[in-house]
Amino acid sequence: MKLYLLYTGGTIGCVGTPLAPLQGPKFVKAFKDNVEGTITTQISGTTIHYDWFEKTLDSTNMQPSDWLLMANKIVDNYEGYDGFLILHGTDTMAFTSSALSFLLPNVSKPVIVSGSQLPLFFQNDSENCTLLYNTDALRNVLGAIEFATFKMPEVCLYFDDYLYRGNRVVKSNASEFTAFTSPNFPALGEYGVLPVINNSMLMPQPKNKAIDNHIPQVKQILQTIKANIDSTATIPLLMFPAYYNVNGDESLLVSMIQNIMKSSPTIKGLILEAYGEGNVPSYQQMQNVLKSIHGSGTVIVDCTQVYQGDVNYNAYATGAWLKSCGVISGYDMTAIAAITKLIVLNAQYGTNDISQIEQLMVKDLAGELTSYYSLSGYQNQFLSPGQCLYSLNGNYQFINNTTGSLILYDLTGTKPAAIWQKDLGVPGRLVMQSDCNLVFYNNDFDPIYASNTPQIGTNAFFQLENDGSLCIYDLYTNSLIAKIN
C-alpha cells in the first residue's frame, strides 16, 4: 500500500510544556525514527509519503479554509496513493472529518483522520524524540493504517480501536482515550485481536461517479469553494430556557439571533440546536425572526441538541410551526455534520437561490443522514411497520402501515389524503434489495409482494419524489428503472 500521510499538528505532534505541535520536518524525523519501521516491516509492501502544514496548528485554531488545504492536498495526490491518513488535533477533528466527506464526494479510497489524547513523542533534547510512555497515539496511528488496507470508499475517523464514518462522529470525552462516539450510526470497524470491518455499513464503491474519473472537475469545485468559504458564515444556536415577554418584544434568544445576523462575514446558515425532537420556543417573536431571516436568504436547519436520536418536528406544536417559517429538518445529522455541510454547500453554490441548498441539505450526500425520502439497497434498506418516507418538499408521505398496507398520502391539504394504496393483509417490512427489487416480507420472512424490477445495475434506491411518484433508480447512474405508482 502506498500511503499519503498528512500531518497538520494537534496533540499527536505536541511536545514541551505547555504542549505545542512540532513543525512538520521535526515531526517526520521523529516518526521515521520511532514508528515507520514498525509499519513498513509488519504491513507488507507499505510505503509512506509525508506531507505537512507549513504552519502546524492546534486544532482549536482550525478554520474552514484549512479544510480546503487538506482537501486540495488529497486531490492533488489522489491518483498516486492507495490511502490517505490525516493526523489532526481532537478538538475539531469531528468537524474536519465531516467537512472532508462533503469536499471529497464519491471517494473510492480510504481517507482516515486520526490523532490522540496524549502526544506521540517525548522530546529528549532539541533534536531527538522517543515514544511517549502510555500514549494512545501509537495505537491510533497503527490501527488507522491497518484499516486503510481494507480500501473502504469512505472519509473516516479512527480513534481508540474504532473506525467511524467521518460525518457521524462527535467528541464525547475530553479526558479519556475513548474520545469519540457515533451516536446515530454504527461503527464501521473495530480493532480487537484482529481488525474487523462491517462491510454492510460501508458506502458502496462509487464506480463511474468516483473522484478518480473527475479529478479536473473536483479541483475546479474546490477552487470555487475556496474562493467563497470565508465570505459567508454558518453558526449554531443552542436553545436554552431564556426570558421572553409574550405580550411584548423582549426576548433574549431573539435578541441574540438579531445581533448575530449583523455579524461579518454575513450569516447565511443557521443551525438550531433544538430541544428533543426539534422543538423551539414558539412565541410570536421567535416565529417572526426566523421567518424574516429565512426570507432574507439564510438557510435554517433544525437539529437536536440531544446526544442521540433524530428530529421529528411535526410531533409537537412547539416544532410543527418551524416548517411555515422555512426551517428544514436535520433529521439524524449531528449539528457538526449540519454545520460543515452547510458551510460547504453555501460556498459551492452561492446564496442567491437557497432552495437548491435546502434540497441538498436534506439529501444524503455522503452517508451523513438516514434518508427520510428514499430506501437504498446498501443503507437504510427497509421500512418497518409504522415507518414512513417523505418527499423532499414535505408534500407527500409514504407509509408502511402497521395493518399491512402501503399508503401514499398527499399532505398539501387541510388533512392527509390517500392517493395510492396497496393492501397486503399482514404487517411486514418493505425492503429495497441490492438486486433492484422492492420486496414486502411478512413476519415469517415470506415475500408477498415484489416490484419485479429489471436488474440494470448492482444496486438501487427507492424514492418518494416531490410530485408524489414512487420511483426506483439505479444507485450509480441515477437513471430511472421503474415507477411504482
- Provide the annotated active-site residues: 11
- How is residue 251 annotated by DSSP? B
The CA-atom distances, in angstroms, between 329 and each of 167, 258, 355, 434 are 17, 22, 14, 28
The pair phi, psi for residue 412, each rounded to 5°, is: -80, -15
Please tell me whether residue 404 adopts helix, strand or coil conformation: coil
Query: Which residues, including other chains, have CB under 8 Å from residue 12's CB and lie 6 or more apart?
Result: 87, 88, 89, 114, 115, 116, 119, 120, 137, 140, 141
The pair phi, psi for residue 424, each rounded to 5°, is: -110, -5
Query: Which residues, including other chains, have CB under 8 Å from residue 421's CB and lie 6 or more apart?
Result: 405, 406, 407, 408
The pair phi, psi for residue 256, each rounded to 5°, is: -60, -45
Is the CA virtual torsion 280, 283, 286, 289 positive or negative?
positive
Pull the grid cell for residue 234: 454558518
Query: Which residues, including other chains, have CB under 8 Å from residue 287's CB and lie 6 or more apart?
Result: 321, 325
Pull the grid cell for residue 49: 509519503
- How is residue 16 annotated by DSSP? T
